[in-house]
Structure 1
Amino acid sequence: MDRTAVLVMEMQRGVVGDLTKFPDLVTACRSRDVVPNTAAVLEAARAAGVPVVHCTAAFRADRAGSHTGNCPFIVSLLDDPAHMLDGTPAVEVLPELRHPGDLESRRLHGFSPFTGTSLDMTLRSLGVSSVVAVGVSLNLGIPGLALEAVNLGYRVTVVTDAVAGVPEEYARAVLRHTISLLATRTTAARLVERWTEGADR
């Protein structure tokens, strides 16, 4: 039997919320209604018994567990020694997306939720063989999630109006030319309708 889980990528206060360091990404999320669309997907998923896993990122204050010099983007982020520190409000999931029954998979390194975490084992323990991806960003996290999930044998669906990247034209190109090769694409409304119909049966 094919069981699905929703993977919520980095929808955290320090990424797209009130403590963000990425205003352009916040603007992209607002223009595409990413937060309300994600909330609708998660509400329908929970009602249908579909597991929700928040894939979050953080750094320890001493940087243990994180390679900090092998990527220009991470080097620039860590110019701020307080950036996304584990245990601070910045790494919390957006309040409107949190639910007590949700799971969380925290990573200290890299851009994919699978590398260096127990996410794959968690999903397999739940009998999951398909994942639905929402969140940010189409620049790094969502393509990394989709590629690694496919490599691990999962079927992947990306919710096109519950993801964002910058600039907008690049995000559209990633959805069209990269995500389309790795994953099924759908909208939040279509997914909610499908899960709602399934729950009503």
Structure 2
Amino acid sequence: MERPAVLVMEMQRGVVGDLTKFPELVAACTRHDVVPNAARVLNAARAAGLPVIHCTAAFRPDRAGSHTGNCPFIVSLLKDPEHMLEGTPAVEVLPELREDGDLESRRHHGFSPFTGTSLDMTLRSLGVTSVVAMGVSLNVGIPGLALEAVNLGYRVTVVKDAVAGIPEDYAKAVLRNTIGLLATRVAAADLAGTWT
């Protein structure tokens, strides 16, 4: 029998919240009601007793454990020595998406929540066989999550109105042409309805 878990990708204050350095991404999330749609799915998942795991990213002040020069995007981000530092409010999950019973899987390197973390082992220990992905971004994080989850044997569903990327025409193309090859795409209301 299939047992899903919900993976919430980088819905953190320093990414899409009040401490963001990515105002265009926040604007895309706002235009598409990403946070309210994600909250709807999370409320339904919790009510159904399904695991919710926030996949978060952070850096240590000394950058130990993070490759910092192998990717142009990371090099650009880390020009700000305060960016997404462990223990600061920027790495906190958006409060409207977090509840006490939720789990968190933090990474200090890369773009996928599976690489270098215990996420796969956590999912297997919970008896999870499929994952539902939400969050940001369709540029890198969500495709990375979906691809690695498929490679690890999970069935993947992406909540198409609880994800965002920029520019928006590119995000739509990724959702259609990349995510569509890896995962089932579903609307938040439809998914929540199946769990209630």
Q: Considering the TM-score relative to the shorter chain, is it more than 0.5? A: yes
Distance 1:131 1:48 in 2: 15
- Structure 1 residue 68: Cα displacement: 0.1
Distance 1:91 1:100 in 2: 16
> What secondary structure, in the 3-state scheme, does the structure 2 residue paired with 1:81 have?
coil
Please list, as runs of the form range in 1=range in 2, the aligned pairs for 1:40-51 lying within 5 A after superposition.
40-51=40-51
- Structure 1 residue 2: Cα displacement: 1.1
Distance 1:52 1:139 in 2: 23
Please list, as runs of the form range in 1=range in 2, the aligned pairs for 1:34-113 lying within 5 A after superposition.
34-113=34-113
> Identity of aligned pairs, percent?
83
Given residue 193 of structure 1, which amino acid in structure 2 is its aligned partner?
Answer: G
- Structure 1 residue 95: Cα displacement: 0.4
- In the TM superposition, structure 1's runs of 4+ consecutive aligned residues that sit over 2 Å from their partners are none
Q: Which residue of 2 aligns with 1:199?
A: none
How many residues are paired up?
196
Distance 1:142 1:148 in 2: 10
Given residue 75 of structure 2, which amino acid in structure 1 is its aligned partner?
Answer: V
TM-score (ref. length: structure 2) = 1.00
Given residue 80 of structure 2, which amino acid in structure 1 is its aligned partner?
Answer: D
Distance 2:34 2:176 in 1: 18
Distance 1:43 1:151 in 2: 28
Please list, as runs of the form range in 1=range in 2, the aligned pairs for 1:1-201 lying within 5 A after superposition.
1-196=1-196
- Structure 1 residue 20: Cα displacement: 0.1
The superposition leaves residues 56-106 of structure 1 with CA deviations (integer Å, 9 ceiling, x where unpaired) of: 000000000000000000000000000000000000000000100000000
Distance 1:17 1:171 in 2: 19
> What secondary structure, in the 3-state scheme, does the structure 2 residue paired with 1:76 have?
helix
- Structure 1 residue 159: Cα displacement: 0.2
Distance 1:124 1:192 in 2: 23
Given residue 27 of structure 1, which amino acid in structure 2 is its aligned partner?
Answer: A
Distance 1:175 1:78 in 2: 28
Distance 1:100 1:193 in 2: 23
CA-based RMSD: 0.3
- Structure 1 residue 151: Cα displacement: 0.2
**Structure 1: tracts of 5 or more residues without a match:** 197-201
> What secondary structure, in the 3-state scheme, does the structure 1 residue paired with 2:129 have?
strand
**Structure 2: tracts of 5 or more residues without a match:** none
- Structure 1 residue 175: Cα displacement: 0.6
